[in-house]
Chains A and B, each alone.
Chain A
Amino acid sequence: MVFDEVFIAALLLVGSLFGFSAALGLLRMPDFYTRMSTSGKAATLCCGLLLGGVAAMFHDTQVTARAVAALLFLLFTVPIGVHMIARAAYRVGTPMWRGRTAKPRFKNPKRDLK
């Protein structure tokens, strides 16, 4: 019983930590692409852990089924949305941040293919 509660609490706490880091990434990151990377998808793991914690806490068929469905829909829709938005940004040539010490610090990603 105690072990169950500790497990659920750990899931929820770690999930919220990833959610917090996603929100902080949105504020801290210097350009569009890195903001997308840190926020859009830390959210995947965050939602996965939170939904898993909720399912484990209620231990109920209906709740579990909904948690699994929500997670599946997230896994199907998030990467497509991320890809479409990033591709639009890439095509219009949104400048890309290239690191703290790089010169120049921002550059059009089309001219910087490795």
Chain B
Amino acid sequence: MRVFLLNLILAISWSALTGNATLVNFCFGFFIGYLALRVSPKIPEGTKYFQRLPRLIRLASFFIQELVLSSLRATIEVFSPKLQSRPLVVRIPLEITDQTQIFILANLISLTPGTVVLEITPDNSELFVHTMFVDDPDIFREEIHLGFEKRVREAFS
């Protein structure tokens, strides 16, 4: 967290010094700050942050890709003359146990169109997910495990 704040300060000072406070320039300053911190010797608790940031970016880009793909599918479904979807409620056993990670996973699933988390069992071991475009529950479980769950675990552990 301290390293992240340091990186943020570097990005802010980059924007201030170049006198250009647009979002693109800020992101560029953040990137330069990241590189500068990365090559500087001996930052305590630094290595964890350096591994985590690329993984967070990978999770974010994967999420945006999923969001766009499933939004397109939902839009096609809404505009098609006969409804094609076959909604199901799928039970997904979780491998992650950490509360924060489950919270983030459930929110990401709820945010993609076509899937809603209906219930989390009280012992945090299963999610019940309402899906619209799934033919085979096993394939869907596998997709969540290898897609969102794996990336969330990598980014937040």
Binding site for B on A (CB under 8 A): 17-18, 21, 24-25, 28-31, 33-34, 36-38, 41-42, 44-45, 55, 59, 61, 64, 68, 75, 78-80, 82-83, 86-87, 89-91, 96-100, 102, 109, 112-114
- Given A38-B113, A80-B107 in contact, is the A99-B79 Cβ separation under 8 Å? no
Tell which of B3-11, B38-46, B67-75, B144-152 binds the partner: B67-75
Kindly provide the distance from the CB of B101 to the nearest chain A CB, expressed in whole angstroms: 15
Kindly provide the distance from the CB of A40 to the nearest chain B CB, expressed in whole angstroms: 8
Q: Is B130 an interface residue (CB 8 A)?
A: yes
Other-chain contact of B23, A68, A78, A96 (Cβ < 8 Å): A68
Q: Once the chains bind, are B113 and A37 in contact (CB under 8 Å)?
A: yes
Q: Once the chains bind, are A41 and B111 in contact (CB under 8 Å)?
A: yes
Q: Once the chains bind, are B87 and A99 in contact (CB under 8 Å)?
A: yes
Other-chain contact of B111, A21, A75, A97 (Cβ < 8 Å): A75
Residues in A with CB closer than 8 Å to B114 are: 37-38
Q: Once the chains bind, are B117 and A86 in contact (CB under 8 Å)?
A: yes
Identify the interface centre among B86, B116, B119: most chain A CB within 10 Å of its CB.
Answer: B116
Q: Once the chains bind, are B71 and A37 in contact (CB under 8 Å)?
A: no
Q: Once the chains bind, are A42 and B74 in contact (CB under 8 Å)?
A: yes
Residues in A with CB closer than 8 Å to B96 are: none
Q: Once the chains bind, are B107 and A79 in contact (CB under 8 Å)?
A: yes
24 chain-A/chain-B pairs, Cβ below 8 angstroms? A25-B78, A28-B78, A28-B83, A33-B116, A34-B85, A37-B116, A37-B130, A37-B132, A38-B77, A42-B75, A45-B68, A75-B111, A79-B106, A80-B107, A86-B110, A86-B117, A86-B118, A87-B119, A90-B128, A98-B86, A98-B88, A100-B84, A113-B128, A114-B90
**How many A-B contacts if CB must be within 8 Å?**
122
Binding site for A on B (CB under 8 A): 21-23, 67-68, 71, 74-75, 77-79, 82-91, 106-108, 110-119, 128, 130, 132, 137
Residues in A with CB closer than 8 Å to B85 are: 34, 99
Closest to B126 in A: A113
Other-chain contact of A82, B74, B89, B110 (Cβ < 8 Å): B110
Q: Once the chains bind, are A44 and B67 in contact (CB under 8 Å)?
A: yes
Kindly provide the distance from the CB of B110 to the nearest chain A CB, expressed in whole angstroms: 4
Residues in B with CB closer than 8 Å to A100 are: 82-84
Other-chain contact of B88, A29, A45, A114 (Cβ < 8 Å): A114
Residues in B with CB closer than 8 Å to A98 are: 86-88
Residues in A with CB closer than 8 Å to B119 are: 87, 90-91
CA–CA, A101 and B77, complex, Å: 16
Q: Once the chains bind, are A41 and B78 in contact (CB under 8 Å)?
A: no
